[in-house]
Amino acid sequence: MSYIRRPGLGALAMAAIGVTVAASSASAAKVPSAKAAKNISVVYIPGLTGNPFYSTVACGAAVEAKKLHVGFSVQGAPTFAVNAQTPVVQAVTARHPSAIMISNDDPKAMIPPLLRAQQAGIKIINIDGDLAEKSVGVTNIQSDNLIGGAMAGQEMQKLTKGHAGSVLIEDNAPGYPISEQRRQGLINYLRKHDPKVKILPIVYTNNEVATAASDVRAAAAAHPDLIGVYTVETNNTQGALTGLEEAHLTGKVKLIGYDTSAPIVAGIRSGKVSADIVQYPYGEGMLGLRDAVLAVQGHKIPREQSQPFVVATKANINTAKVQQFIYKTSCSA
């Protein structure tokens, strides 16, 4: 994807170490006036419903909407697929809100329905999943998944300390740019910096915790030299956690996850998850809603806005800095 620039080593180190919450985006400083925002309504359409990451985006946006007295609601489909998301976009467009915040299920196939919404005068804010056509949408807010993957690679190298061995990668299903970049980031990093590590063929789990667990057990049995597991979505991390425990390999085989949930946070606390790449969906939601209001009020917003990460470990999980990144299971918490 063209908008992803491969991070230089310096940039990577910056991202990994110098993570701060204040995203250095121009519009973050600009605060829309609550008075003028009265009759504005914003709808957020997640990639799918019931996912901790997207739910946290919604929480961040809801909090900001309350502050600005903006109408806010969430509408979405239970599956991550364009033919499920398109009817939702169409129905929301019929209702004609002032702005739509959307986490796109596909960079190309979602263009036509969103173009129609934009032509109807609705401002489009892309969140964690841009479109291939940059004229649709006023901005895209997301963290760079290649960098996230490279950060996971760096952690893996730190944990395995240059030992030879195999690393297993678990993903939901092939064909999603976001998770592909997360995988590629780690693979690129390890190939370059730790060539002794052998990367096993990628295992697909269809987002099933039970499959993720049994696949880890199978891989551990087939490859006694297994030293690390990298899981690029919530359910895979939860499954791998269980699978390693069942195979009595917790701690011996290092587990690095991506995104958080309650069981993953518990796993980090107990050290069963060695490291976890955590994005900042709450901030993406807040920024997205602010930008939606600004766009409706006629302000100009940068087209690309990058959001930070942290690497959560047993050592830092309870610090305030990491805690604000952790995904929320309910907005009030």
Partner 1 sequence: MSASGGATPTAQRSDQPEAEQDARAQARVERRQALARTLNTSPVYMFGVLLCIFVAFTVVNATAFTSVANVQNITLSAAPYLVMAVATTYLMIASGLDLSIGSVLVFANVIEAKVMGAVGGDGTAPVLIGLVAGIGVGAGWGLFNGICVTKLRVPALITTLGTLGAVLGAADLITAGNDIRTVPMSLVNFGADSFLGVSYIVWVAIVVTVVFGLILHLTRFGRHTYIVGSNIEAARRAGINVDRHLLKLYALSGASAGLAGFLALAQFASTTISGHSTDVITVITGVVLGGTSLFGGYGWMVGTVIGILIPITLNNGLIIANVQPFWQQVATGFILIAAVYLDQLKRRSRERA
Residue 85's nearest CA partner among 99, 97, 75 is 75
Nearer to partner 1, 170 or 194 (CB): 170
Q: Which stretches within 69-199 are classed as H helix?
A: 82-95, 111-119, 145-160, 177-193
Q: Which of 52, 76, 281, 283 binds partner 1 (CB under 8 A)?
A: 76
Residues that contact partner 1, how many (by CB under 8 A): 32
In this structure, what token pair is assigned to residue 94?
């019929």
* One of 8, 10, 174, 224 touching partner 1 (CB under 8 A): 174
Helix (H) or strand (E) holding 45: strand 41-45
CB of 50 to partner 1, least distance (A): 7
Q: Are 35 and 64 in contact (CB under 8 A)?
A: no
The first and second tokens of residue 213, run together, are 């667990």
Question: Binders of partner 1 among 89-108, rule CB under 8 A?
Answer: 90-96, 106, 108
Nearest distance in Å: CB 10, partner 1: 32
329, two tokens: 């299971």
Stretch that binds partner 1, among 70-78, 123-131, 217-225, 305-313 (CB under 8 A): 70-78
- By CB under 8 A, name the one of 24, 33, 39, 79 that touches partner 1: 79
Among 28, 67, 75, 249, binds partner 1 (CB under 8 A): 75
Residue 87 binds partner 1 (CB under 8 A): yes
Residues near 55 by beta carbon (within 8 Å), at least 6 away in sequence: 46, 327, 328, 329, 331
Instruction: Please report whether residue 298 would count as binding partner 1 according to CB under 8 A.
Output: no
| Backbone angles phi and psi of 216, in degrees to 5 | -65, -40
| Token reading at 214 | 């049994």
Q: Give yes or no for residue 4 binding partner 1 (CB under 8 A).
A: no
**Which residues are near partner 1 by CB under 8 A?**
49-50, 73-84, 86-88, 90-96, 106, 108-109, 112, 173-175, 204
